[in-house]
């Protein structure tokens, strides 16, 4: 079962969209393997976004992700990374298609509501930044037999 890290960013939390977005992922058939509310420290944000260091948007990105509380989630399911990214929509809300999270709730180029891992390697690295292995659960719901066909990963 594939896992991905999702961060509901400070603007998402401040706009009280947490429940609506979690519901979308659950409705799609993804399973919550871990979840927490926290304030990301500047050093942790710098580790998370290290691949972007030196880019013009990097300082603003660090200021943004540390500006308020975030919700961190690990979602699990078949093709969880690709599924979550499609559900999130294009990075800039004004470019995102209606029906996606950013398309339905975002218009800003700066405040884009949500982060999701972009590959299995980044998911593994990002999850380890925020969750200890013991904080992640593996369980099966009754719905799994209808959403995750064995052999379809």
Tell me what pLDDT residue 150 has.
Answer: 60
Task: Give the strand order in the sheet containing 2-8.
Answer: 31-38, 70-77, 2-8, 114-116
Q: Where is mean pLDDT largest: 106-115, 121-130, 134-143?
A: 121-130
Domain ranges across the chain: 2-139
1-40 pLDDT tens trace: 899 999 999 999 999 999 999 999 999 999 999 999 999 9
Q: Which of residues 118 and 140 earns the better pLDDT score?
A: 118
Answer yes or no: is pLDDT of 133 > 80. Answer: yes
77-97 pLDDT tens trace: 989 999 999 999 998 888 999
Check: CB of residue 31 under 8 Å from CB of residue 139: yes
Return phi, psi of residue 115, to 5°.
-125, 140
Indicate if 115 belongs to the active site: yes
Confidence of residue 107 (pLDDT cuts 50, 70, 90): confident
Structure tokens at 112: 């884009």
Q: Which of 39, 48, 115, 144 is catalytic?
A: 115
DSSP state of 41: P
Tell me what pLDDT residue 151 has.
Answer: 61
Domain 2-139 falls in which CATH fold?
A: Alpha-Beta Plaits (3.30.70)
Identify which of 49, 70, 72 has the alpha carbon closest to the alpha carbon of residue 60.
49
Check: CB of residue 103 under 8 Å from CB of residue 96: yes
Spatial CB neighbours of 9, under 8 Å, sequence gap ≥ 6: 64, 65, 70, 111, 112, 113, 114, 115
């Amino acid at each position: 079962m594939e896992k991905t890290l999702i961060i509901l960013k400070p603007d998402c939390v401040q706009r009280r969209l947490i429940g609506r977005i979690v519901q979308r992922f659950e409705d799609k058939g993804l399973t919550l393997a871990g979840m927490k509310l926290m304030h990301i420290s500047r050093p942790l944000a710098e580790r998370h976004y290290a691949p972007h260091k030196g880019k013009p948007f990097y300082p603003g990105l660090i200021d943004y992700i540390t500006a308020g509380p975030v919700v961190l989630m690990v979602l699990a399911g078949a093709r969880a990374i690709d599924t979550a990214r499609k559900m999130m929509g294009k990075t800039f809300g004004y470019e995102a298609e209606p029906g996606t999270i950013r398309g339905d709730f975002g218009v800003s180029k700066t405040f884009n509501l949500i982060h999701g891992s972009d590959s299995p390697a980044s998911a593994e690295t990002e999850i380890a930044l925020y969750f200890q292995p013991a904080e992640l659960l593996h369980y099966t719901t009754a719905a799994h037999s209808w959403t995750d066909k064995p052999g379809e990963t």
